Structure 1
Amino acid sequence: DTGPVDYLGAFAVTAGLGIEEHVRRFEAAGDDYDAILLKALADRLAEASAEYVHEQARIQCGFGAGENLSKEDLIRERYRGIRPAPGYPACPDHTEKRTLFALLDAENRIGVRLTESCAMLPAASVSGLYFNHPQARYFAVGKIGADQVADYARRKGIEVEEAEMWLAPNLGYRPAAPARTL
């Protein structure tokens, strides 16, 4: 026996491939309603895809086979595990999407790419990690000190100023240098 078994998954999904052409067509025709509706529908489909893949991951790992969750249970995330994503409160550094996308080969496999500011294109895309441990819970990274940022930058192999730029909302201090913009 090697001890407890736990699982971690990584994912990227999209429902936005090819919709920009249709959005532009709607906008050119002055049909903002259908343009907004199409983008919203694609966003919801991407989120639903992430939820479905998460369910399949729980089943494959042996944790979700007996789940009998209602829509309300799914919305309230009343299942085992969590699905955090870079750029959200538990993982505020958007640049970790670069690591995730390299691991998954997301651009080549599903056609989703990252912009310089780490936004996903097409926009109707979702990526993140699956933690299946029964005690896994969401949390928010609070304010961090200069020593923590310096240590993070060192371990990540980047300059402190770059780490400060990406982590600006979480800084518990005023950086010495003016923050760069993305």
Structure 2
Amino acid sequence: MESKGVGFCAVVAVLGIISAATSFAGEFTRVKASDLSVEDDSCVYPSSPALALEIVSAVFTIITQIYISVTIGGCRYCCTNDSNLNPVSKLFSGLSRAATVIGVILLLAAAALNNNEGGQVDSYGYFTCYVVKPGIFAAGAVLALLSAVFGIVAYVTLAPPATQTTTSPAVALPVGANADPEKSPVPFLPQQYPNRQYA
């Protein structure tokens, strides 16, 4: 793999690891039900860095996908007539985008719910507070990492760019070991022009 490809894979891997690491950190620092207290029919949430961590994770996931798309060729690599893309590369680029979209939605929704003030009275008359279920942030982290991995696979499976060949008309040369182009000039066909009529 050339140095450009190694650089691309390294950048995407670092961005993906940052996204996943911040999201996993948000999973460990999320507000749990045992951390809440109820005062005057209102849930009191303790301060938690999970919201900031999940926003950072979502931003890095989006940056990773933008970098993948721009490096591979932007919207050009979505086209079906692009000769640089084979079905495997198209599949993994689509999976990378899907993982990005789902992961970002999951991260932002869980981050917003993590600091959601308020609560509701359930059917039994108990006051309940909103908390993020365990594993939601971790799922977002896995999707962020998969987005980067799929992007790397899409880049690696790209076909090498086809070399441009210029087509020129074939010229008939004299055949023979002692053929001299000066003594045997190549005949050229006369140009034919359409008949023009002048008034």
- Compute the TM-score of the two structures, normalised by the length of structure 1: 0.28
Larger strand share, 1 or 2: 1
Q: Which has the higher helix share?
A: 2
